[in-house]
Amino acid sequence: MTDNVILVGFMGAGKSSVGRILAARLGRCFVETDEMITAKEGRPIPEIFAEQGEARFRALEDEAVRLLALKRGDVIATGGGLPCRGGRLEALRAIGTVVWLSGDFATLYERALRGGDRPMLHGRTREQAEALYEARKSFYSRADLAVDTTTLNPDQVAAEVQKALRGWARPPQHWPPHPTLSPSGGEGTLS
Ligand code: S3P
């Protein structure tokens, strides 16, 4: 298998920790879209949101998705909102096998609150965060594979992803990929 493995899912799904473990086990490089953006901008994501707003962050994600087309054989963790706008999930599927790390809302929300500063949870009630989660599920569910993380730790999730990948025959892709990105059709501003 030479294509990328791309992890998508809501905040708290464990994309970064699982991605790191998976990359080590598969002997591959690990890439994070949030890290690509942070490195390029020279500042943390909460600062980008606070000073330039969500729209700017989403534009930076577009650029990151374009750069991902250059990756080969990497494990890639995406930000929770990245696949949730027009054409992005399909653009990811064009460059690798997309795996949705799913889970029930209560579990993901609790994990997300515990770990790190998440601007998308600022000023949102639990109910609003759950509405965001529900709206995003229709995007995530277009992934090639899904692993339910609700009762599993990152090690166990990584093992389940490996198992799922072994049973997965990726359909042939045209080369070069032509991801179609459109500015509309996303979840919009939900604050
Ligand atoms: C976001 C999730 C974050 C990060 C940014 C926006 C989102 O990544 O990309 O704060 O829209 O859900 P994690 O999913 O790793 O928290």
Q: Which atom of ligand 1 is nearest to the CA of 45?
A: 10
Residue 36 has pLDDT above 70, yes or no: yes
Report pLDDT for 116: 82
Residues 6+ apart with CB under 8 A from 127: none
182: left (phi over 0), alpha (psi -120 to 50) or beta: beta
Report pLDDT for 172: 61
Residue 142 has pLDDT above 50, yes or no: yes
Residue 56 has pLDDT above 50, yes or no: yes
Report pLDDT for 187: 62
Confidence of residue 173 (pLDDT cuts 50, 70, 90): low
pLDDT tens profile 81-121 = 999 998 999 999 999 999 999 999 999 999 999 988 999 99
pLDDT tens profile 11-22 = 999 999 999 999
3-state secondary structure of 31: strand
Separation of alpha carbons 188 and 191, rounded Å: 9
Average of per-residue pLDDT values in the chain = 91
Q: Which atom of ligand 1 is nearest to the CA of 132?
A: 12
Residue 161 has pLDDT above 60, yes or no: yes
Percent of the chain residues topping a pLDDT of 90: 83
Report pLDDT for 1: 41
| Ligand 1 mean position, distance from CA 12 (Å) | 9
Residue 174 has pLDDT above 90, yes or no: no
Look-up: residue for tokens 């899904």? 146
**11 within ligand 1 shell (Cβ under 6 A):** yes
Residue 63 sits at φ, ψ, to 5 deg, of -65, -40
**Hey, which of 10, 11, 51, 130 would you mutate to test ligand 1's pocket, going by the most ligand atoms within 8 Å of its Cβ?**
11
Report pLDDT for 49: 97
